[in-house]
Amino acid sequence: MDEQARTNAALFERAQRVIPGGVNSPVRSFASVGGTPYCVAMGRGSTVTDVEGRRYLDYVQSYGASILGHGDPRVVTAISEAAARGATFGAPTEGEVLLAEAIVERVPGVDKVRLVSSGTEATMTAIRLARGYTERSLIVKFDGCYHGHSDALLASAGSGVASLGISGSAGVPAAAVSETLVVPYNVVPELTREVAAVIVEPVAANMGLVLPVEGFLEGLRAECDRVGALLIFDEVITGFRVARGGAIEYFGVRPDLVTYGKVIGGGLPIGALAGKAEVMEALAPSGPVYQAGTLSGNPLATAAGRTVLELLDAEAYEMLRGRASQLSNELVKVIREAGVAVQVPHFSSLLGIFFGDSVVTNYAEARDSVELGLYPAFFHGMLDRGIALAPGPYEVLFPSLAHTPAEIERTIDVASAVAHGLMDKSVTLG
Ligand SMILES: *Cc1c(COP(=O)(O)O)cnc(C)c1O
């Protein structure tokens, strides 16, 4: 390829000709912040380098799939050794057993695991399984929680406080979401005996970072028990990130089913659905609920995932927590010192940035913060100075194990400068 074509702008231009919107997942587009996406040539540890040779300190980390940082040599070795033995067979492999055992061993109350190829597949299957097992149809989801892009879960809240979902996308017919009830996060809904399952992100990380209020998860458990509905924790982000046993271990609340993705693939495509034996056994071939996958339990993905889980010891979690809490505490301080109202909630290694004065507890409040319109300028200010945040205001930051204390310091200094710039801008505009 000629050198001239290897610029971000030229590649994005070519991408737009052959890929819808120029990206293979809409979160990668710069639609909500403006500008042209940088095209990554390589990643190493905490950084990514784009095709123009610009290096960024990376807080996207594949939206949480890379918890060790990019290109960890131990993961690279595991993947290449697995690849040399053959990429996929259509027959069982030892790697699947080992990864399932690693999950069962870490998560209290989980007996069995079904491996799939994405988080979307995991949640879609969890819903089907819950419906098949309970022989009920209704599912309850929380406004602002993301569970992948299967039809039944692409439901938005209607105008009421608790409403039947309306289609969250063109192409999702009303019928597909007519049995999905969408309710506000952090309020325990009153359920009926028609509800098959309640699905929830135990810590919401797709509307910025929103923590569960005291008693919320326990309340969901009790309400599900009262009516015989299943409780599903979607731990595609929180799983093996917020603690060795994920949010289940951290909060001590046991769902009937739990879904995983991201971290457990070490950067390769994977998802998993896990839970109590009795419910899980309803899956084919032992039970009547059909589910399948040509690449499910792929040898490369299970090798990468198992390597990552083994490396996540107590010290690793301690380090991740320390970095995130330092980042959160200092960011709040320097951004407020610049005269910009902000909240920087953190939970274990996750953190979010909400501009504005109020603490955010649900999606409506997250939207109010986003509507202040400060994120795009903050994002570009950081990016111009070599720090990559996600190009959307509803995403969280993912500091990895590869982020050094010096890099955290640099992030804080840069954020301070950018926040002062935001104020200058609003003064000029005002
Ligand atoms: C990313 C995500 C999903 C979807 O996972 P994919 O692998 O992108 O299909 C589901 N649930 C949550 C909470 C997620 O963050």
Give distance in angstroms: CA of 207 to centre of ligand 1.
13
| pLDDT tens-digit map of 310-357 | 999 999 999 999 999 999 999 999 999 999 999 999 999 999 999 999
DSSP H or E stretch at residue 234 = strand 230-234
Candidate from 132-141, 275-284, 415-424 with smallest mean pLDDT: 415-424
Specify the ligand 1 atom closest to the Cα of 145. 13
Give distance in angstroms: CA of 206 to centre of ligand 1.
9
Question: Is 77 strand, coil or helix?
Answer: helix
- Ligand 1 pocket: which of 199, 206, 258, 363 to mutate (most atoms <8 Å of CB)? 206
Give distance in angstroms: CA of 261 to centre of ligand 1.
7
Spell out the residues 6+ positions from residue 35 whose beta carbon is closer than 8 angstroms to its own. Answer: 380
Is 236 near ligand 1, meaning CB less than 6 Å away? Answer: yes
Is 119 near ligand 1, meaning CB less than 6 Å away? Answer: yes
Bridge-based pairing of strands 350-351 and 346-347 is antiparallel
Give distance in angstroms: CA of 336 to centre of ligand 1.
32
pLDDT at 127 over 50: yes
pLDDT at 28 over 70: yes
- Ligand 1 pocket: which of 237, 263, 396 to mutate (most atoms <8 Å of CB)? 237
Instruction: Domains for the chain: give ranges and CATH numbers.
Output: 3-67+313-424 (3.90.1150.10), 73-311 (3.40.640.10)
Kindly indicate the confidence band of residue 157, based on its pLDDT and cuts at 50, 70 and 90. confident
Give distance in angstroms: CA of 148 to centre of ligand 1.
5
pLDDT at 381 over 90: yes
Kindly indicate the confidence band of residue 423, based on its pLDDT and cuts at 50, 70 and 90. confident
Specify the ligand 1 atom closest to the Cα of 119. 5
pLDDT value of position 22: 97
Known catalytic residues are 146, 234, 262
Residue with CA closest to ligand 1 atom 6: 119
Specify the ligand 1 atom closest to the Cα of 63. 1
pLDDT value of position 167: 85
| pLDDT tens-digit map of 77-113 | 999 999 999 999 999 999 999 999 999 999 999 999 9
Residue with CA closest to ligand 1 atom 8: 119
Is 207 near ligand 1, meaning CB less than 6 Å away? Answer: no
Kindly indicate the confidence band of residue 429, based on its pLDDT and cuts at 50, 70 and 90. very low
What mean pLDDT is predicted for residues 166-184? Answer: 91
Please, what is the average pLDDT of the chain? 95
Is 395 near ligand 1, meaning CB less than 6 Å away? Answer: no
Give distance in angstroms: CA of 417 to centre of ligand 1.
33
The two structure tokens encoding residue 123: 């949640």
Spell out the residues 6+ positions from residue 300 whose beta carbon is closer than 8 angstroms to its own. Answer: 79, 82, 83, 87, 268
Is 399 near ligand 1, meaning CB less than 6 Å away? Answer: no
Percent of the chain at pLDDT exceeding 70: 96
Is 75 near ligand 1, meaning CB less than 6 Å away? Answer: no
Q: How far apart are CA 78 and CA 73, in angstroms?
A: 9
Is 147 near ligand 1, meaning CB less than 6 Å away? Answer: yes
Percent of the chain at pLDDT exceeding 90: 93
Bridge-based pairing of strands 230-234 and 195-200 is parallel
- Ligand 1 pocket: which of 146, 200, 209, 398 to mutate (most atoms <8 Å of CB)? 146
The residue ranking higher by pLDDT, 248 or 155, is 248
Q: Count Cβ atoms within 10 A of the Cβ of residue 364 and give its class: 0-12 exposed, 13-18 middle, 19 or more buried.
A: middle
Number of Cβ within 10 Å of residue 80's Cβ equals: 11
Give distance in angstroms: CA of 249 to centre of ligand 1.
20
pLDDT at 3 over 80: no
